[in-house]
Amino acid sequence: MKNCLIALAAIMSLLAVLPGCYYDVEEELYPNTGCDTLDVGYATTIAPIIEDNCLNCHSAAANFGNVTLEGHNNLKTYADNGQLLGVIRHESGFPAMPQGAPQLVDCTIEKIEKWVNDGAPDN
């Protein structure tokens, strides 16, 4: 009986200790999916970002700050002169946009940067 209790205690001890030996690899549990900037187009990527984050204030109807970002030609003007990237990156000398909201996430900014660096095409 005493041997049985010792064996049972040993088994219970092992069962209590073994879960603590589990090893997690953070990269395997939470893989970095990265930011896909391969197929960034105006109609498919940029226009929806602008609609969701900018047009409440900068549409043709609202036109706050005399800035209209509605439509490719209007947006391209600000992309070409550097103001678009300056405001979304919160660079010194530019008003931080979107105003009164958190800065756009890094991946969204990277997509806009890619589009601007590609010449802000209407694609």
Q: How confident is the model at residue 27 (pLDDT cuts 50, 70, 90)?
A: low
- Give the chain's domain count: 1
If you average pLDDT over residues 110-118, what whole number do you get? 98
Whether residue 65 lies inside any domain: the answer is yes
Answer whether residue 21 is part of any domain.
no
SS3 70: coil
Q: CA-to-CA distance for 120 and 73, rounded, in angstroms?
A: 10
Domain for residue 33, yes or no? no
Residue span of the structural domain in which 108 resides: 42-117
Is there a domain that residue 57 lies in?
Answer: yes
Helix H segments across the chain?
A: 2-17, 26-29, 47-53, 55-58, 72-80, 83-88, 106-117
Would you say residue 21 has pLDDT above 60? no
Is the preceding peptide bond at 98 cis, omega within 30 degrees of 0? yes
Does position 22 have pLDDT exceeding 60, yes or no?
Answer: no
| pLDDT value, residue 109 | 98
- 103 falls within a domain: yes
Does any domain span residue 48? yes
pLDDT band at 103 (very low <50, low <70, confident <90, very high): very high
In a domain, 75, yes or no: yes
- Give the per-residue pLDDT at 56: 96
Within-domain flag for 71: yes
